[in-house]
């Protein structure tokens, strides 16, 4: 379909309206499939360079109705300029150098307040990554961006868009251009970023600054640091391998003669199983980020000094973890994960301590959310050694029930959701034997969150984390039975969770005490009246399951709380006592 559209665009060369319509259709394809996937399918021969560039140059930048044409042409040009021939061979007499013309055209679009800014920034980075372009144009482009950033009017909308275009261009350059090319310019790039005025109140600029500074930090870090050796080795990365590892040998390889003939000669059944279950040392998971242009750095001894610039980058990312914008916190968390994956264990331990320092009662919910995301990223990348879980797991379980009320507003659902992401990431990161000591606490807290959290997205996130742990760790008590009933759709109805699913889970003795305690001493004091009512009804249905616990600890404590200072807890305790008395009288 894309080729047909390209042919139609060529046929409509004398019909601008038809050409604009075709490019609007192609733009819809980029929105559906993603521009990076679509670019590879566009024609990109030497003969396409001049026509595409000339068509782009002829477009009117003030035409707000047909910006899709410029957007697609910029993307198309980004793949065409990568032709494997020297651009000097394509020069024509009487015209300015082709390299200068392409860069000037891209810079003309990158400072506009349009979606075309993204495509223009991508074009600049791809073009400068050419071996015959970056020796002469990289430094001048960085200087151009520095001048634009220094002279921009940060108080006006147009000025902010010019700044956004420059930051976006530099961020793409740091991502696409080879590291060995960027190393001589890294200090200048960092200084440009640090010299920016306070833009923490503008989400677009702050997000781009965070993205840029983390990529600059990666330039200072060695690409293949021996620090990677200290990272935790996950063991079985495939769920199928994980399940096969628990089966008897006879269940993995049948004993009949037909299947045995498939084994290599001279190989016994035990050898074949061992070969199948052994993790290759060079195995790479598709979920791991692998740099496209890895270099052979001689850091195998691991004795390298972390540059001071990396500390400045980490400090900036730690500040971004506390931003009031979710996008900023998420970008900073990913940046910390990427940078820490290339550093030594002592440095990462310092970063971990700083992250855990954000999880205190003195910090805001934004800091808790950013810290939870950062912990999840460190765990997902195997940067939290098993001995560090003793400090991390209690913080994550606290975040799993974080709820802060301020006036008429309530905060904390995003923190609880991020804590579920942590539990999900830990399930994929650690061997069952290394996570065994934390199974009891994590399993009970996750099921409480999946059943009784007020927010739908948190209940579903907790259910997904519980399912991931039950499947990969295989140690959660009655995990398969629970996830079969308490699935993604079942936890969608909060009344069903409190009145039906809670009774099902409480039928397993491992979960009965914690469910009753959570309902009686946490949910009955919730600020939402509907939650208090549901908690009372749930206690009514659960009373027959554990009368000893109800009579021995729940009723006395609820009686005390009916006279407490918390109005929500007082009313909830009265409701809970009434429901319990009703259940006991039957």
Q: What is the pLDDT of residues 419-444, one digit of tens each?
A: 999 999 999 999 888 899 999 999 99
Tokens of 11: 């046929």
Task: Give counts: helices (H), strands (E), the chain.
Answer: 33, 2
* Tokens representing residue 182 in the block: 């960027």
Residue 307, pLDDT score:
83
List the structure tokens of 354: 């700083």
Which pair of structure tokens corresponds to residue 498?
């409190």
Residue 63, classed as helix, strand or coil, is coil
Mean pLDDT score, 309-336: 95
Residues 6+ away with beta carbon under 8 Å from 505? 447, 451, 482, 486, 511, 515
**Can you list the domains of the chain with their CATH numbers?**
2-220 (1.25.10), 308-492 (1.25.10.10), 493-586 (no CATH)
Instruction: Give residue 224's pLDDT band: very low, low, confident or very high (50, 70, 90).
Output: low
Residues 173 and 124 sit within 8 Å (Cβ to Cβ): yes
Q: How far apart are CA 435 and CA 392, in angstroms?
A: 12
pLDDT of 33 higher than 80: yes
Residue of 409 and 477 predicted with greater confidence: 477
CA distances from 479 to 347, 393, 434, 475 (A): 37, 20, 18, 8
Using alpha carbons only, what angle is made at residue 518 by residues 572 and 361, rounded to the nearest 5 degrees? 90
- Please give the pLDDT value at position 61: 86
Return the pLDDT at 251.
45
> What backbone torsions phi and psi does residue 409 show, to the nearest 5 degrees?
-110, 155
Residue 288 pLDDT > 50, yes or no? no
Query: Is residue 571 within 8 Å of residue 527, measured between CB atoms?
Result: no
Distance CA(304)–CA(345), nearest Å, equals 12
User: For residues 375, 444, 238 and 280, what is the CA-based torsion angle, rounded to 10 degrees?
Assistant: 60
Q: Say if residue 301's pLDDT is above 70.
A: no
Give the SS3 label for residue 405.
strand
Residue 275 tokens read as: 């070969």
Categorize the per-residue pLDDT at 87 as very low, low, confident or very high, splitting at 50, 70 and 90.
confident
**Residue-wise pLDDT tens digits, 465-479:** 999 999 988 889 999
Mean pLDDT of 404-411: 79
Give the best-scoring range by mean pLDDT among 276-285, 329-338, 542-551: 329-338
Of 5, 10, 68, residue with least CA distance to 41 = 5
Residue 337 scores a pLDDT above 80: yes
Confidence of residue 365 (pLDDT cuts 50, 70, 90): very high
Give the least confident one: 22-31, 251-260, 353-362, 566-575.
Answer: 251-260
Q: Which residue has the tokens 């004091």?
A: 525
Give the Cα separation of 544 and 533 in Å (integer). 19
Question: What is the DSSP secondary structure assignment for residue 178, as one 8-state letter?
Answer: -
pLDDT band at 258 (very low <50, low <70, confident <90, very high): very low
Average pLDDT, rounded, for the chain: 85
Tell me the C-alpha distance between 580 and 547, whole Å: 10
Inform me whether the pLDDT recorded for 270 exceeds 50: no
Q: Please name which of 465, 539, 466, 464 lies closest in space to residue 498, comparing C-alpha atoms.
A: 539
Q: How far apart are the first and last CA of the chain?
A: 70
- Residue 48's pLDDT is 83
What is d(CA 196, CA 218) in angstroms, rounded to the nearest whole number? 20
pLDDT tier at 266, thresholds 50, 70, 90: very low
Confidence of residue 246 (pLDDT cuts 50, 70, 90): low
Higher pLDDT, 89 or 558: 558
On the CB side of 183, CA atoms within 13 Å amount to 10
pLDDT in tens, 116-132: 999 999 999 999 999 98
Give the residue from 561, 572, 569, 492 showing the smallest Cα distance to 539.
572
**Contact (CB, 8 A) for 328 and 203:** yes
Residues 6+ apart with CB under 8 A from 438: 389, 393
Per-residue pLDDT, 89? 79
Higher pLDDT, 62 or 501: 501
Average of per-residue pLDDT across 31-49: 85
Q: In a 10 Å sphere around its CB, with 0-12 CB exposed, 13-18 middle and 19+ buried, how is residue 229 labelled? A: exposed
User: Contact at 8 Å (CB) between 12 and 18?
Assistant: yes
H-helix or E-strand containing 409?
Answer: strand 409-411
Using one digit for the tens of pLDDT, what is the confidence trace for 152-162? 999 899 999 99
Does the pLDDT value for residue 227 go beyond 80? no
- What pLDDT shows up at residue 515? 96
pLDDT at 142: 96
pLDDT for residue 283: 38
Does residue 538 contact residue 499 with C-beta atoms inside 8 Å? Answer: yes
Note the pLDDT of residue 182: 95
pLDDT exceeds cutoff 60 at 488 = yes
Exposure b/e, 432-455, CB count within 10 A at least 16 = b: bebbeebbeebbbbbbbbbbbbbb
Measure the CA–CA gap between 193 and 455, rounded to whole angstroms: 39
Quick one: pLDDT at residue 90?
Answer: 77
At 145 the three-state DSSP class reads helix
Q: Is residue 153 packed enough to be buried (19+ CB in 10 Å), middle (13-18) or exposed (0-12)?
A: exposed
pLDDT at 146: 95
Q: Is 366 buried (19+), middle (13-18) or exposed (0-12) by CB count in 10 A?
A: buried
Percent of all residues in the chain with a pLDDT value above 90, rounded to a whole number: 62
């Amino acid at each position: 379909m894309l080729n047909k559209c390209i042919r139609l665009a060529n046929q409509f060369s004398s019909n601008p309206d038809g050409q604009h319509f075709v490019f609007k259709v192609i733009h819809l394809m980029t929105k559906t499939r993603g521009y990076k996937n679509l670019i590879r399918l566009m024609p990109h021969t030497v003969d396409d360079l001049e026509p595409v560039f000339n068509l782009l140059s002829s477009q009117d930048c003030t035409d707000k109705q047909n910006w899709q044409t410029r957007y697609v042409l910029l993307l198309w040009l980004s793949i065409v300029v990568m032709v494997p021939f020297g651009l000097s061979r394509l020069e024509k007499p009487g015209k300015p150098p082709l390299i200068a013309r392409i860069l000037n055209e891209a810079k003309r679009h990158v400072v506009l307040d349009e979606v075309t800014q993204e495509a223009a920034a991508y074009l600049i980075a791809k073009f400068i990554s050419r071996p015959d372009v970056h020796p002469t144009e990289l430094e001048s482009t960085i200087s151009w961006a520095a001048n634009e950033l220094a002279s921009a009017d940060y108080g006006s909308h147009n000025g902010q868009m010019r700044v956004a275009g420059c930051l976006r261009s530099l961020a793409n350059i740091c991502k696409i251009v080879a590291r060995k090319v960027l190393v001589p310019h890294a200090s200048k790039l960092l200084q440009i970023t640090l010299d920016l005025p306070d833009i923490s109140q503008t989400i677009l600029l702050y997000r781009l600054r965070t993205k840029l500074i983390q990529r600059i930090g990666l330039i200072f870090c060695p690409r293949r640091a021996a620090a990677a050796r200290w990272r935790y080795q996950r063991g079985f990365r495939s769920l199928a391998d994980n399940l096969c590892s628990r089966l008897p040998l006879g269940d993995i390889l049948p004993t009949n003669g037909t299947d045995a003939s498939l084994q290599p000669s001279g190989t016994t059944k035990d050898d074949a199983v061992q070969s199948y279950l052994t993790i290759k040392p060079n195995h790479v998971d598709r979920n791991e980020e692998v740099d496209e242009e890895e270099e052979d750095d001689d850091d195998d001894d691991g004795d390298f000094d972390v540059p001071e610039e990396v500390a400045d980058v980490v400090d900036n990312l730690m500040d971004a973890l506390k931003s009031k914008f979710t996008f900023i916190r998420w970008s900073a968390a990913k940046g910390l994960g990427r940078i820490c994956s290339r550093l030594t264990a002592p440095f990462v331990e310092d970063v971990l301590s700083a992250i855990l320092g954000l999880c205190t009662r003195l910090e805001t919910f934004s800091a808790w959310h950013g810290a939870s995301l950062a912990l999840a990223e460190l765990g997902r990348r195997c940067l939290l050694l098993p001995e560090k879980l003793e400090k991390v797991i209690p913080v994550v379980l606290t975040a799993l029930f974080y709820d802060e009320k301020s006036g008429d507003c309530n905060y904390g659902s995003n923190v609880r959701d991020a804590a579920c992401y942590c539990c999900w990431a830990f399930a994929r990161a650690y061997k069952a034997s290394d996570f065994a000591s934390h199974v009891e606490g994590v399993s009970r807290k996750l099921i409480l969150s999946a059943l009784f959290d007020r927010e739908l997205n948190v209940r579903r996130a907790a259910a997904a984390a519980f399912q991931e742990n039950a499947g990969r760790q295989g140690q959660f008590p009655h995990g398969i039975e629970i996830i079969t009933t308490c699935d993604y759709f079942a936890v969608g109805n909060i009344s069903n969770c409190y009145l039906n699913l809670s009774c099902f889970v409480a039928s397993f003795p491992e979960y009965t005490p914690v469910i009753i305690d959570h309902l009686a001493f946490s949910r009955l004091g919730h600020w939402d009246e509907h939650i208090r009512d549901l908690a009372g009804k749930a206690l009514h249905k659960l009373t027959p399951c554990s009368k000893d616990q109800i009579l021995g600890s729940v009723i006395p404590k609820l009686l005390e709380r009916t006279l407490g200072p918390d109005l929500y807890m007082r009313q909830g305790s009265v409701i809970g006592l009434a429901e319990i008395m009703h259940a006991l009288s039957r």
